[in-house]
Amino acid sequence: MNIRFYNARIMTMKDGVDVFEGELWVKGNRIDYVGESKSSNVIWDKEIDCEKNLLMPGFKDVHTHSGMTAFRSLADDLNLQDWLNNMIFPREAVMSGEDIYWLTKLAILEYLTTGVTLIADMYLTPETILDSCADMGMRCEIVSGLNKFGPTLQVLEDRYNNLNGKNPLVGFKMGVHAEYTCDRELLEEVSKLIHKYEAPLYVHMSETTTEVEGCKERYGISPVALFEELGLWDFGGSIYHGVWCDDADMEILKKRNISVITNPGSNTKLASGIAPIAKYLDKGILVGLGTDGPSSNNCLDMFREMFLVTGLAKLKDMDPKAVGADEVLKMACVNGAISLDHEDCSDLSEGKLADVIMIDLKQPNMQPILNIPKNIVYSGSKSNVKMTMIDGKILYMNGEFIDTDVDLIYEKCAQITEKLKDI
């Protein structure tokens, strides 16, 4: 479909957060033109008057567990280990792939309302996650959560080979759940596998002091240093959380081009701590943003994450200048894409994938229009998301989901939740 957006404010984020007035053309699933208004002899399938609202790249939620929508408001006010071992793991043990298919669809509805156009999803059944994302039109990189409880290394390798390329919207990345859920022998075998494919690795890491101290008791070094020793960082990747990395860890992350995906909402709710974001940025470490799952957070709201990442950074450093709004937007839109090797949707440039959102500037929280980037970060809300387009298709517009049976998704997920809640 060929779509012309005109009478728009546009923030491409190609080289910062400057805003100009113009139009954006989409042909198929790519951006064909972005710039000042000009005439065209193209026959458009649709022309949309943006009414001076803002077009910008979609947000990238680059760490989440979508299928955990089943546990929203079920397992709250606990520390991480109690939450995982007593509330989450027993229920996950009886979840089916079909359960996760529907629960992921529910999460995708929420991503669309908050302007998310790319997710990195680590959960139990990658095959049904792929089907869910493909059916809903969500761009996704599925991340393996391999651990000592499963799956096997052969399954991981088979998924890497079979799921990549199966659907143009969905890819598969190698990952392990965490150091504390993998023994050394398993990590050594994973290292052999990533060297075979020269693949980056993704992992929960340095989320709590308990995790870091436990690793030091087992191996005498931090989780970051252990993975360096095992060669697991040789081809890059990301760590999720990174709340308790020290200076030596940061030197390794920088050296190996490892990005940090911060999850301020989840870390706040679980009292895991405040990640040293300003320090990461000062050292030139790429920082992306994620919500974590809808049980540990509990909402999949990138506006809340954006405010928390800057607010907590200012509080941690006692510096109101720490991690400003422009940097936060870069983390939420550009850096997350780069962390997943998705420069093809990192900004609104000609030839890039048409993953575009429209922000409603005609609401009280966006007035006056003195500084649009700061309005988005400091006063923005998911209610300001007027449109979410992924791969050239409008999936959410003016509060409505396009060609989606929302009631069926709600009904299926309610049945699944009823089954799981009393386990």
Read off the pLDDT of residues 324-344 as tens digits, 9 standing for 90 and up: 999 999 999 999 999 999 999
Residue pair 119/139 in contact by the 8 Å Cβ criterion: yes
pLDDT at residue 173, as a whole number: 98
Angle, helix 97-113 to helix 406-420, in steps of 10 degrees = 130
**What share of the chain has pLDDT > 90, as a percent?**
95
- Tell me the mean pLDDT in the region 251-267: 98
Is the pLDDT at 298 greater than 90? The verdict is yes
At residue 422, φ and ψ (nearest 5 deg) are -100, 10
pLDDT at residue 254, as a whole number: 98
Instruction: Name the pLDDT band for 101 (thresholds 50, 70, 90).
Output: very high
Chain length of the chain? 423
Is the pLDDT at 131 greater than 90? The verdict is yes
Question: Which residue has better confidence, 77 or 241?
Answer: 241
> For residues 12 and 179, what is the distance between their CA atoms, to the nearest angstrom?
38
- Tell me the mean pLDDT in the region 275-284: 98
Instruction: Name the pLDDT band for 78 (thresholds 50, 70, 90).
Output: confident
CATH superfamily of 2-57+345-398: Urease, subunit C, domain 1 (2.30.40.10)
Interval 79-97: pLDDT, tens? 878 888 899 989 999 999 9
Report the C-alpha dihedral over residues 6, 8, 14, 18, rounded to 10 degrees.
150
| 26: Cβ contacts below 8 Å, ≥ 6 apart | 1, 2, 3, 4, 5, 32, 354, 356, 389, 392
Instruction: Name the pLDDT band for 369 (thresholds 50, 70, 90).
Output: very high
Amino acid at 291: T
In this structure, are strands 59-64 and 20-27 parallel, antiparallel, or unpaired?
unpaired
Is the pLDDT at 264 greater than 90? The verdict is yes
pLDDT at residue 45, as a whole number: 97
Domain with CATH 3.20.20.140 in the chain: 59-343
Domain with CATH 2.30.40.10 in the chain: 2-57+345-398
**Of 235, 252, 384, which Cα lies nearest the Cα of 307?**
384
Is the pLDDT at 225 greater than 90? The verdict is yes
Question: CA–CA distance from 405 to each of 191, 315, 326 (Å)?
Answer: 43, 43, 37
- Tell me the mean pLDDT in the region 38-57: 96
> For residues 299 and 294, what is the distance between their CA atoms, to the nearest angstrom?
5
Domain 59-343 has CATH 3.40.47.10: no
Residue pair 281/288 in contact by the 8 Å Cβ criterion: no
**Mean pLDDT computed over every residue of the chain:** 97
pLDDT at residue 11, as a whole number: 98
Is the pLDDT at 423 greater than 90? The verdict is no
Question: CA–CA distance from 60 to each of 108, 116, 129, 347 (Å)?
Answer: 13, 6, 17, 11
- Spatial strand order of the sheet with 170-173 comes to 59-64, 116-121, 139-143, 170-173
Question: Could you count the other beta carbons within 10 Å of the beta carbon of residue 81?
Answer: 14
- Tell me the mean pLDDT in the region 64-84: 90
Token digits of residue 191: 């290292």
- Tell me the mean pLDDT in the region 366-377: 98
